[in-house]
Amino acid sequence: MKLAIKNLTRRQVPPIAFRTIAEWVLGADYELSLVLVGDTRSRTINRRWRGQDRSANVLSFPLDRQAGEIFLNLGRRSINYLRWLFIHGLLHLKGLRHGSKMESLENQLVKYFQTHEQNDRRRTRHR
């Protein structure tokens, strides 16, 4: 998994296991660009590419079969919601559309990685 993260906001990059989650969902050969944006940039991109004049929480753009880009709007969102949005964007890159299958996978992945990340933080604090 090749992952490039670009933060275009003044906020810190959230402590989410982006690479681990992306590799789990998309596979080791995928190249992903993750761009962290705020409401203004998200609105501009959404207006230009989707014709919707409002900010979006997450926008996914497949570039080819093994590469894509996600714009994640940090806004004033919790870590758990940002993790869910990231997973949501990854599943779109994988080709899933909104529906019960996508929702079920989102719920499973969010639960797994939320627990996984919390356990990693606990182990790190106790060393």
Where residue 101 sits, what CATH number does that domain have?
3.40.390.30
Instruction: Check: CB of residue 126 under 8 Å from CB of residue 103.
Output: no
Task: Give residue 108's pLDDT band: very low, low, confident or very high (50, 70, 90).
Answer: very high
Residue 126 has pLDDT above 70, yes or no: no
**42 is written with which tokens?**
């998200």
Using alpha carbons only, what angle is made at residue 43 by residues 86 and 12, rounded to the nearest 5 degrees? 50
Structural domain span for residue 89: 2-125
Going by C-alpha positions, the residue among 97, 72, 50 that lies closest to residue 3 is 72
Going by C-alpha positions, the residue among 25, 42, 12 that lies closest to residue 88 is 25
In terms of DSSP bridges, do strands 2-7 and 31-37 run parallel, antiparallel, or are they unpaired? parallel
Provide the number of structural domains found in the chain. 1
Q: What is the pLDDT of residue 116?
A: 74
Residue 121 has pLDDT above 80, yes or no: no
Q: What is the pLDDT of residue 76?
A: 86
How far is the C-alpha of 107 from the C-alpha of 116, rounded, in Å?
Answer: 14
